[in-house]
């Protein structure tokens, strides 16, 4: 808001000033800048209000669709942002915010981000990025090697080769997965005889040329929701994304996968890709990648691994065998903004074969000329920022053994939390952690006993009430603002695959202590007491079961 | 590089430290941080080396594909980044860097970016973004209003409505354009009777259901290269992107457009979208949007406007009529990282109808639940950063009249430069500026006279040599590092549509002075003298023409 005694003016001179001269040392913005540099965590703690303001009330501050006719002073507007936006943002880096895949970030990334943004490179082409282009190619090479551990000569041949690409850096896992399936689709429907390829002639003619009735991508029923989006965008249709059933540990069942493939082929539907999940979003489980690889090799399918979450586990020599078989994948998605601790907006897809991306290569007159090393000729996105610099810096400053420590402690913390939950008589661990994710729910001992004895109607009824309770606790805990866990819906085998709402916890923040984990449970138990009506309804079902 | 007397260690304690305690006040990083805050332009000037190092030499510094086994100290690594990366990056914000669509940025965006990155919100859902969600919706509302100027009640009804969306914020214009065409495709092939819609059943079944032989998107031959990518990804095929011829000012010819549509329909190909370009990438020209709108309305086509570059012109009440008819578009792409002066990675697509995006809406169990206001249910991307905050801040601090000044002075500067070029006997203006882009080439007076008199073989021969000269000058100027213009290939009507390589200039940087423009021409004239062999070959053709 513009202060009353002075008004910002709109003259070309004042505008030029904002492109050149920073505010004085006393300005709000300079102070915030320094405060952030001195102690990021303190800044966030002090400026983000813990208790949740209802969304409809926040919306009032963001209701005007008119672009202001009057400029504001930088300092005034910064104060306004602190009051209305920062204070009601989410403290995603808080050690007690364990509900989603965000974490504290290494502090050195803040000033480095400022350099990155100030340089304002555009990675689409060398003319607007220069050294950032080889840097990004090196980062892709490093991730490629982490997955495929090819020899030095492989990387000296391909990493900087014009017309080749080991992968694509993109804004996140969704674009990475779409890119992988785009490449897979185009390679499956490539030029042949008179047919010029799906990229030129489109899907309809491709299907007619190849004589298929449909296309399919197979993934476990725990695959990420974005894959449906990918199937839609690519013209395959959401129904072409075929869900394969999972075992009791949320891992794809290879026998079921083979059966599905056979079934599709009998209907003349071409299964052109299978996706293995390395770290399901809800439970963190990893598909049997080697088994899928074998099936894909038999069936001549593209094998893509969605390791957006779990890919960073490869940094740990102690746990990388969890992803055994990933090196057989034709392509792999890894998000750097997840367990590589990079700020939001950094995903990657890597391809085993440096030629794979040829099927999506594109050129233009004024940029991306043939033979150039411009990154833009192999990316779905056009203009892109220099985010790869942050990955590069983190790789060097943290190093592989540093990442190993981070990964290991996250997994071990999840194991600890699982054992803590199991020790509580009134909590139930629903999914064991394989990576640093687990799910559980609050269910008093006698309720659990009743549930075990109940007939199927009572079981369903009681389970519905427990779902309500879980939702109630999760929502109230979030609103109170001391800590945050998320929730999701699973179909656990121990409860006859009933729809079960559970707390979901992601333990990737290195600052999350064991004390915090204990207090999360204490708080949830306390919140449960604040729902007497719901508890009474649960008790009444429990009584009816006991009295049977 | 790790200094010799001390080595960074990999202990969990040292790792925790990087998540909490910033470096001391004397560290390289802190010093850079302060230097950047004090004077960004000075920092960039001092750290970016002007003269170009060959790419193959830069690549040597980025050749190792192994993730380091040894951590580096933050300060040491920062110095390494300055030496190898920053020094050989591109000074995109330099006032003499007038070859691409980058500019100096308002300095207040640097510290604000740091806040944005430190908050590390994920805009995919409210649980990880809270107030950022209404903020982004407001930004979309502001841009929507800038285009469509609907009444207050429209925005109070739709801007924050769950299950509706006025558009999508995305990483850039390419994703914005893909999103628009995705929506258009899905609406054109929507559910009907037994058919469940292209999003469910895919393109092949959709085509069979509707009985089309193909799909087409029409755009002028000056459309952005990314549209081909979009046509490929969406399964339409690059051949489905039909180029329509342009008039002498690089604007689509409406008569030719109508003819093409009729032709396609006769072959039973469905033209489901027409794209109007508002600011072609190469010459900055704007298609006759109102004419296209009328044709689209007759033909029941989706009308998309790619105003990635030119959309910001709507901020100027003096020039917004250049985009007359944009308000009739079904969707419009605008890049904030172009003429809204936001750092790289901020594009938007706006839809006239708040229901338009329903055809691509998606949900999931753990997030994006139905009825939620999560932005992720209407975006192609998944996890996204809080970039919208920077657009919001710039709108308030610069304000509409401030943007108007910036837009006006860019256009007027381009007009000035055009007149300056025309005054030179040895330069030829190839395309007049409509926005702040123009193209020209170096061609001494007597050579031009010869070209005018030449027969078609001589014309072609001479033109080829001039193309070589233009390439030579452009490349040498870039390498020298004093200034940068880009180059592209046009087919100007004044030269019988011969392939003509031209200098391309974008004058969006407010710090670019008239003196700089003069010196760019002086430098180019000087560089031309350093190509005696080429000049001699030109003279010999000129002689043969004169002697005829």
Domain that holds residue A451: 402-546
Distance CA B109, CA B95 (A): 18
Distance CA B486, CA B282 (A): 10
Q: How many CB atoms lie within 10 A of CB B262?
A: 11
Tell me whether 0.85 is exceeded by the ipTM.
yes
Q: What is the pLDDT of residues B54-75, one digit of tens each?
A: 999 999 999 999 999 999 999 8
Beta strands A500-506 and A437-442: pairing type? antiparallel
| Whether A258 and A164 share a structural domain | yes
Which of A12, A380, A484 has its CB closest to that of B233?
A: A380
**DSSP of A350-397, one letter per residue?**
EESSTTGGGGG----SSSS-TT---GGGG-SSSS---THHHHHHHHHH
What is the rounded average pLDDT of the residues A483-508? Answer: 94
Distance CA A409, CA A403 (A): 10
The minimum CA-CA distance between B38 and chain A, rounded to whole Å, is: 6
Q: How many CB atoms lie within 10 A of CB B464?
A: 16
CATH for A415: 3.90.1150.170
| Whether A295 and A377 share a structural domain | yes
Window from A243-247, A365-369, A374-378 with minimum mean pLDDT: A365-369
Fill in the DSSP letter of residue A486.
Answer: E
Tell me if A113 is assigned to some domain.
Answer: no
**pLDDT exceeding 70 applies to what percent of chain B?**
98
Window from A204-218, A243-257, A359-373, B227-241 with minimum mean pLDDT: A359-373
Are the C-beta atoms of residues B224 and B173 closer than 8 Å to each other?
yes
| Whether B205 and B324 share a structural domain | yes
What pLDDT sits at residue A66? 97
Is 80 exceeded by the pLDDT of residue A9?
A: no
Which of B71, B114, B235 has its CB closest to that of A36?
A: B114
What pLDDT sits at residue A24? 74
**pLDDT exceeding 70 applies to what percent of chain A?**
98
| Whether A302 and A184 share a structural domain | yes
Q: Which two tokens stand for residue A70?
A: 């009057």
Are the C-beta atoms of residues B150 and B351 closer than 8 Å to each other?
no
CATH for B302: 3.40.640.10
**Of the residues B55, B89, B123, the one at which a domain ends:** B89
Phi and psi based region of residue A72 (left: phi greater than 0; alpha: psi -120 to 50; beta: remaining) = beta
- pLDDT confidence tier of residue B366, bands split at 50, 70 and 90: low
Are the C-beta atoms of residues B128 and A53 closer than 8 Å to each other?
no
Chain B environment of A70 (Cβ under 8 Å): 399, 401
8 Å CB contact of B65 and A135: no
Q: Could you tell me the pTM of the whole model?
A: 0.96
What is the rounded average pLDDT of the residues B349-365? Answer: 90
Distance CA B427, CA B448 (A): 9
Torsion of CA A251, A256, A258, A259, to 10 degrees: -160
Q: How many CB atoms lie within 10 A of CB A160?
A: 22
CATH for B438: 3.90.1150.10
| Whether A357 and A416 share a structural domain | no
- pLDDT confidence tier of residue A4, bands split at 50, 70 and 90: very low
What pLDDT sits at residue A30? 81
The minimum CA-CA distance between A151 and chain B, rounded to whole Å, is: 10
Are the C-beta atoms of residues A508 and A408 closer than 8 Å to each other?
no
8 Å CB contact of A85 and B132: yes
Which of A67, A212, A393 has its CB closest to that of B146?
A: A67
Comparing alpha-carbon positions, the chain B residue that sits nearest to A155 is B65
Is 60 exceeded by the pLDDT of residue A6?
A: no
Is 80 exceeded by the pLDDT of residue B139?
A: yes
Fill in the DSSP letter of residue A339.
Answer: T
Comparing alpha-carbon positions, the chain A residue that sits nearest to B68 is A399
Q: Which residues of B369-390 are buried (b: 16+ CB within 10 A; e: fewer)?
A: eeebbbbbbbbbbbbbbbbbbb
Q: Which two tokens stand for residue B447?
A: 């050579």
**Of the residues B54, B89, B124, the one at which a domain ends:** B89
Q: How many CB atoms lie within 10 A of CB B474?
A: 24
Q: Which two tokens stand for residue A542?
A: 């429990």
* φ, ψ (nearest 5 deg) of residue A327: -70, -10
| Whether B361 and B406 share a structural domain | no
**pLDDT exceeding 90 applies to what percent of chain A?**
84
Tell me if B141 is assigned to some domain.
Answer: no
Q: What is the pLDDT of residues A418-445, one digit of tens each?
A: 999 999 999 999 999 999 999 999 999 9
Alpha carbon distances (Å) from B516 to A538, B45, B79, B434, B507: 78, 16, 32, 21, 11
What pLDDT sits at residue B6? 55
The minimum CA-CA distance between A548 and chain B, rounded to whole Å, is: 35
8 Å CB contact of B62 and A138: yes
Distance CA A505, CA A437 (A): 6
Are the C-beta atoms of residues B413 and B512 closer than 8 Å to each other?
yes
| Whether B177 and B64 share a structural domain | no
Which of A119, A282, A366 has its CB closest to that of B89?
A: A119
Is 60 exceeded by the pLDDT of residue B106?
A: yes
Tell me if B257 is assigned to some domain.
Answer: yes
**DSSP of A402-453, one letter per residue?**
HHHHHHHHHHHHHHHHHHHHHH-TTEEEEE--SSSEEEEEE--HHHHHHHHH
Question: Which residues of B460-499 form beta strands (DSSP E)?
Answer: 486-490
Is 50 exceeded by the pLDDT of residue B452?
A: yes
Which of A59, A144, A205 has its CB closest to that of B160?
A: A59
Alpha carbon distances (Å) from A232 to A199, A304, B330: 16, 18, 21
Alpha carbon distances (Å) from A381 to A113, A172, B295: 21, 11, 30
Interface test with A, best of B272, B402, B479, B506 (most A CBs within 10 A): B402
Tell me if A473 is assigned to some domain.
Answer: yes
Q: What is the 3-state secondary structure (H, E, C) of A127-183?
A: HHCCCHHHHHHHHHHHHHHHHHCCCHHHHHHHCCCCCCCCEEEECCHHHHHHHHHHH
Distance CA A541, CA A546 (A): 9
Q: Tell me the average pLDDT of chain B.
A: 93
- pLDDT confidence tier of residue B548, bands split at 50, 70 and 90: low
Are the C-beta atoms of residues A231 and A240 closer than 8 Å to each other?
yes
Interface test with A, best of B26, B115, B129, B471 (most A CBs within 10 A): B115
- pLDDT confidence tier of residue A7, bands split at 50, 70 and 90: low
Is 90 exceeded by the pLDDT of residue B15?
A: no
| Whether A19 and A46 share a structural domain | yes
Total domains in chain A come to 3
Cα separation of the two ends of chain A: 67
Tell me if A100 is assigned to some domain.
Answer: no
8 Å CB contact of A486 and B405: no
What is the rounded average pLDDT of the residues A244-264? Answer: 97
Distance CA B395, CA B406 (A): 13
> Tokens 């799910």 — which residue?
A439
| Whether B352 and B469 share a structural domain | no
| Whether A433 and A524 share a structural domain | yes
Chain A environment of B219 (Cβ under 8 Å): none
What is the rounded average pLDDT of the residues A97-117? Answer: 92
Q: Which residues of B392-429 are buried (b: 16+ CB within 10 A; e: fewer)?
A: bbbbbbbbbbbbbbbbbbbbebbbebbebbeebeebbb
Alpha carbon distances (Å) from B27 to B31, B46, B78: 6, 19, 10
The minimum CA-CA distance between B106 and chain A, rounded to whole Å, is: 4
Is 50 exceeded by the pLDDT of residue B2?
A: no
Tell me if A5 is assigned to some domain.
Answer: no
Distance CA B171, CA A16 (A): 27
What pLDDT sits at residue A366? 59
The minimum CA-CA distance between B307 and chain A, rounded to whole Å, is: 15
CA-angle at A54, arms to A51 and A56, nearest 5° = 155
The minimum CA-CA distance between B287 and chain A, rounded to whole Å, is: 20
Chain A environment of B233 (Cβ under 8 Å): 178, 182, 233-234, 380
The minimum CA-CA distance between B280 and chain A, rounded to whole Å, is: 12
Q: How many helices (H) and strands (E) does chain B have?
A: 18, 11
Are the C-beta atoms of residues A438 and A505 closer than 8 Å to each other?
yes
Tell me if B118 is assigned to some domain.
Answer: no
Window from A270-274, B110-114, B207-211, B507-511 with minimum mean pLDDT: B110-114
8 Å CB contact of B381 and A225: no
Interface test with B, best of A36, A44, A47, A85 (most B CBs within 10 A): A85
Q: Which two tokens stand for residue A112?
A: 């480095």
Q: How many helices (H) and strands (E) does chain A have?
A: 19, 11
**pLDDT exceeding 90 applies to what percent of chain B?**
84
Q: Which residues contact B526 (CB under 8 A, 6 or more apart)?
A: none
Q: What is the pLDDT of residues B474-493, one digit of tens each?
A: 999 999 999 999 999 999 98
What pLDDT sits at residue B265? 97
Which of A30, A200, A373 has its CB closest to that of B237?
A: A200
8 Å CB contact of A33 and B37: yes
Containing B431, the helix (H) or strand (E) segment is strand B427-431
Give residue A542's Cα distance to chain centre. Answer: 40
Chain B environment of A52 (Cβ under 8 Å): 130
| Whether A207 and A246 share a structural domain | yes
Chain A environment of B8 (Cβ under 8 Å): 397
8 Å CB contact of A232 and B141: no
The minimum CA-CA distance between A60 and chain B, rounded to whole Å, is: 9
Q: Tell me the average pLDDT of chain A.
A: 93
Interface test with A, best of B132, B219, B232 (most A CBs within 10 A): B232
Q: Which residues contact A31 (CB under 8 A, 6 or more apart)?
A: none
Q: What is the pLDDT of residues B247-261, one digit of tens each?
A: 999 999 999 999 999
Cα separation of the two ends of chain B: 67
Q: Which residues contact B497 (CB under 8 A, 6 or more apart)?
A: B491
Q: Which residues of A268-299 are buried (b: 16+ CB within 10 A; e: fewer)?
A: ebbbbbbbbbbbbbbbbbbbbbbbbbbbbeeb
| Whether A180 and A259 share a structural domain | yes
What is the rounded average pLDDT of the residues A196-204? Answer: 98
Alpha helix (H) residue ranges in B53-158: 55-60, 74-84, 109-119, 132-148, 152-158
Tell me if B14 is assigned to some domain.
Answer: yes
């Amino acid at each position: 808001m513009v202060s009353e005694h002075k008004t910002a003016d709109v003259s070309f001179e004042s505008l030029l000033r904002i492109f050149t001269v920073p505010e004085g040392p006393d300005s709000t913005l300079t102070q915030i800048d320094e405060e952030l540099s001195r102690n990021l965590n303190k800044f966030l703690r002090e400026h983000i209000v813990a208790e949740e303001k209802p969304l409809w009330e926040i919306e009032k501050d963001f209701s005007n669709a008119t672009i202001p006719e009057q400029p504001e002073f930088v300092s005034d507007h910064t104060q306004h942002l602190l009051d209305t936006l920062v204070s009601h943002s989410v403290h995603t880096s808080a050690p007690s915010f364990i509900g989603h895949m965000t974490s504290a970030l290494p502090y050195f990334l803040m000033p480095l981000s400022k350099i990155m943004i100030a340089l304002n490179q555009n990675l689409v082409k060398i003319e607007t990025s220069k050294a950032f282009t080889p840097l990004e190619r090196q980062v892709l090479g490093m991730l490629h090697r982490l997955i495929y551990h090819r020899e030095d000569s492989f990387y000296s041949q391909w990493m900087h080769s014009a017309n080749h690409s080991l992968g694509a850096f993109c804004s996140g896992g969704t674009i990475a997965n779409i890119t992988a399936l785009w490449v897979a689709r185009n390679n499956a429907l490539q030029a042949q005889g008179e047919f010029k390829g799906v990229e030129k002639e489109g899907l309809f003619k491709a299907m007619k040329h190849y004589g298929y009735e449909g296309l399919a991508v197979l993934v476990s029923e725990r695959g990420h929701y974005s894959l449906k989006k990918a199937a839609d965008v690519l013209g395959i249709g959401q129904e072409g994304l075929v869900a394969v059933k999972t075992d009791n540990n949320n891992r794809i069942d290879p026998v079921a996968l083979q059966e599905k493939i056979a079934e599709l082929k009998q209907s003349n539907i071409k299964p052109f890709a299978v996706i293995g999940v390395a770290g399901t979003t809800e439970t963190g489980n990893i598909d049997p990648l080697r088994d899928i690889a074998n099936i894909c090799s038999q069936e001549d399918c593209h094998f893509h691994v969605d390791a957006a979450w779990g890919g960073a586990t490869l940094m740990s020599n102690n746990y990388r065998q969890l992803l055994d078989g990933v090196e057989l994948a034709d392509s792999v998605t890894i998000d750097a903004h997840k367990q590589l601790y990079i700020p939001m907006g950094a995903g990657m897809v890597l391809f085993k074969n440096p030629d794979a991306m040829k099927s999506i290569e594109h050129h233009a007159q004024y940029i991306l000329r043939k033979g150039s090393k411009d990154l833009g000729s192999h990316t779905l996105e056009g203009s892109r920022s220099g985010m790869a610099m942050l990955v590069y810096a983190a790789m060097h400053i943290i190093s592989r053994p540093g990442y190993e420590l981070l990964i290991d402690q996250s997994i071990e913390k999840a194991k600890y939390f699982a054992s803590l939950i199991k020790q509580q008589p009134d909590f139930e661990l629903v999914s064991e952690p394989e990576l640093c994710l687990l799910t559980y729910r609050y269910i008093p001992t006698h309720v659990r006993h009743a549930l075990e004895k109940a007939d199927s109607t009572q079981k369903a009824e009681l389970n519905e009430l427990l779902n309500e309770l879980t939702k109630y606790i999760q929502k109230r805990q979030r609103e109170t603002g001391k800590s945050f866990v998320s929730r999701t819906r699973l179909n656990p085998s121990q409860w006859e695959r009933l729809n079960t709402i559970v707390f979901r916890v992601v333990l990737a923040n290195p600052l999350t202590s064991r004390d915090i984990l204990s207090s999360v449970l204490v708080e949830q138990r306390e919140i449960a007491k604040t729902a007497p009506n719901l508890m009474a309804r649960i008790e009444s079902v429990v009584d009816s079961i006991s009295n049977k």
